[in-house]
Amino acid sequence: DEPCEWEKTELDQTQVEQRIKEYNSQINSNLFMSLNKDGSYTGFIKVQLKLVRPVSVPATKRVPSLQAGRPHPQGVKRRTSFYLPKGTVKHLHILSHTRASEVIDALLRKFTVVDNPRKFALFERSEKDEQVYLRKLGDDEQPLRLRLLAGPSEKVLSFVLKENETGEVNWDAFTLPELHNFLLILQREEEEHVRRLRHRYARCRQKMQEAL
């Protein structure tokens, strides 16, 4: 839960400029960092989305007017839920003072997700001695600053968006349409799981009968 020692490092303007030069010399893409005149800097971070639960997006259905000659049809706002594909990755161009909470907001806008941003959290992921470590970032932490301090290596530091787990799921935080969608998805998953189990045991039974 605690930041590493290098994450607590404070850099002056000269050190920031030197770090940016070193960072840009190590990457194999055009995702460079740039120093601004006001002392801030801009750059790219890559965030992997590892969401277990489905997300909600808006679905607007146009309903034709029942009154003849009415100029504007009414729009009924609806929601639909779906699972984001596994391994979904998004690059964001951000400022050095962009906060983790703002990164979450930007990611949700990119995918037009209408869920409450507080349902999600940004984590830093690192690999050391064949172990994987995850740390939840505070709302006010600055991901681009962490990226600069860590360098471009994804093993040293990468970012992951996950559900903001604080223990048991607070189902009261979801709307009725979301809960109905979750129940439908669970039912389909259960049916698919049962179908696979039955198929597996049917094949085993067939092999045994052939052996007999």
Q: For 125-137, how does the pLDDT look when each residue is reduced to its tens digit (9 = 90+)?
A: 998 888 888 899 9
**Contacts for 76 with CB less than 8 Å, ≥ 6 apart:** 60, 61, 63
What mean pLDDT is predicted for residues 71-77?
46
Which range of 14-23, 57-66, 78-87, 125-134 scores highest in mean pLDDT? It is 14-23
- Whether the Cβ atoms of residue 117 and residue 108 lie closer than 8 Å to each other: yes
- Rounded Cα distance between 15 and 80, Å, is 48
Closest of 44, 129, 49 to residue 82, by C-alpha: 49
Total residue count of the chain as it appears in this document: 212
For residue 172, pLDDT over 80 is answered with no
- Rounded Cα distance between 26 and 99, Å, is 25
Please give the model's pTM, rounded to 2 decimal places: 0.68
For residue 79, pLDDT over 80 is answered with no
